[in-house]
Chain A
Amino acid sequence: MVKTEIRLEGIVLDEGMAVTLAELTQLCGSSARSLQLMVTEGLLRPRQGQAPAEWRFDGVQVRRARRAQRLRRDLELNLSGTALALDLLDEVETLRARIRVLEHQLGTAGVEEFG
């Protein structure tokens, strides 16, 4: 067992990111063709650009593309099945966040029952 310590600064996958199609193929190990199909399917949305060469993807889309790639590979989903799974996962995440906030607003007081 060797021990090393490394200090690192990462890149946050956020709205400020802008990666090209070529960079995205590197980031998620997909071919440009399969990423283009994801855009056609509406599964990925470039933040800007009309032609594929001009496309720029933000961090949210990078995360989505990586997720899509893994789901397709591991669960053998087709493209529309992957798009559906991702949309539902997004919705679950949004709802979970809403629940957290609403639970917070309601407080932790229990309900008293009468009659």
Chain B
Amino acid sequence: MEYKDYYQTLGVARDASQDEIKRAYRKLARKFHPDVSKEPDAEARFKAVNEANEVLHDPEKRAAYDALGKNWRAGQDFRPPPGGGAHDFRFSQDEAADFSDFFSSLFGRDFRGGPGGAGTPRKRRGQDQTVRIQIELEDAFQGATRQLKLEVPEAGPDGRMSTHARTLSVRIPAGVTQGQQIRLSGQGGPGAHGGPAGDLYLEVEIKPHRHFTPDGKDIALRLPIAPWEAALGATVPVPTLGGPVNLKIAPGSQTGQRLRLKGRGLPGDPPGDEMVLLEIVVPPADTAEARRVYEHMAEQLRFNPRAELGV
């Protein structure tokens, strides 16, 4: 197993005072709290910071950790000293369940929790877990089945932890939106001593799409149109998640105008809309013919687009 440099994790010196450790911990806990942080590895960092604090804020555990010596480097292969860890340390399972093998080799991991000791193991519900899943916008529209690979720590009958790889095949229902959570009852951390398992929460993150941007259940689209379509009006095809539909553009339309295609967003009750933003695209004047058309327009239309600016 890997040696953990708890001082490095908290960014403090080996001789840091308890106050310095507390300050460093509180600052990092705020920074990496998974509910606050946007860092991609926030969850792992938050756990690491908590584990480091669990050891360093307690003078007894800190002394036991320091006794390993200071020549270890983070990530170095670590073998616990003979005789095993210090077995007098006790934690609630909530705390210990997330800690590393390195931690449990030093401090044990028996969930005796409470003064009753080993004789009266208490039923404990497993921890809830939250996992982010990235899906395509098309999946949010149609629904999809996704494979999830999870590594789950599992407490054996002797209280030792082992890792259990699980593949979950999860149905993502149509109409999920950015940031929404899906609860999978009983699929979180295992319970202890006959307690029920926790729940697993999947937090949906919709990957950026080439054309569409979701806004809750609504979908935004920039629709390029030709100047004559805008000026004269036209019926043009518009892509939607459910396939192309025809959209009527009123004569005299301008760039920046927004049209609503009702019910063409993500499904739901009510379903979202597709918000179409018109954008006039000017054809290039790259042939003699095209230039003639523009010159003719300039002559005939006598149009000053800056009249409102007074120039």
Question: A interface vs B, CB < 8 Å?
Answer: 1-14, 16, 27, 29, 59, 63, 66-67, 70-71, 74-75, 85, 89, 93, 97, 100-101, 104-105, 107
Q: In the assembled complex, which residues on chain A have CB atoms less than 8 Å from the CB atom of B179?
A: 93
Shortest Cβ distance from B221 into A: residue: A104
Total A-B contacts with CB atoms under 8 angstroms apart: 101
Answer whether residue B181 sits at the interface, using C-beta atoms and an 8 A cutoff. yes
A13 to B177: give the CA distance in the assembly, Å: 10
Q: In the assembled complex, which residues on chain A have CB atoms less than 8 Å from the CB atom of B301?
A: none
Question: B interface vs A, CB < 8 Å?
Answer: 26, 29-30, 33-36, 46, 50, 125, 128, 145, 163-171, 173, 175-176, 178-185, 187, 199, 201-202, 213, 215-216, 220, 222, 269, 277, 279
- Whether A101 and B220, one on each chain, are in contact in the complex, defined by CB atoms closer than 8 angstroms, is yes
Q: How far is the CB of A17 from chain B (nearest CB, A)?
A: 9
A3 to B176: give the CA distance in the assembly, Å: 29
A13 to B203: give the CA distance in the assembly, Å: 10
- Whether A8 and B33, one on each chain, are in contact in the complex, defined by CB atoms closer than 8 angstroms, is no
- Whether A6 and B181, one on each chain, are in contact in the complex, defined by CB atoms closer than 8 angstroms, is no
- Whether B176 and A1, one on each chain, are in contact in the complex, defined by CB atoms closer than 8 angstroms, is no
A71 to B175: give the CA distance in the assembly, Å: 29
- Whether B187 and A101, one on each chain, are in contact in the complex, defined by CB atoms closer than 8 angstroms, is no
Q: In the assembled complex, which residues on chain A have CB atoms less than 8 Å from the CB atom of B185?
A: 10-11
- Whether B215 and A100, one on each chain, are in contact in the complex, defined by CB atoms closer than 8 angstroms, is yes
- Whether B163 and A67, one on each chain, are in contact in the complex, defined by CB atoms closer than 8 angstroms, is no
- Whether A12 and B180, one on each chain, are in contact in the complex, defined by CB atoms closer than 8 angstroms, is yes
- Whether B170 and A10, one on each chain, are in contact in the complex, defined by CB atoms closer than 8 angstroms, is yes
A29 to B128: give the CA distance in the assembly, Å: 9
Q: How far is the CB of A108 from chain B (nearest CB, A)?
A: 11
Q: In the assembled complex, which residues on chain A have CB atoms less than 8 Å from the CB atom of B222?
A: 104-105, 107
Indicate whether A5 sits within 8 Å of B167 (C-beta atoms), given known contacts A16-B269, A101-B215: yes
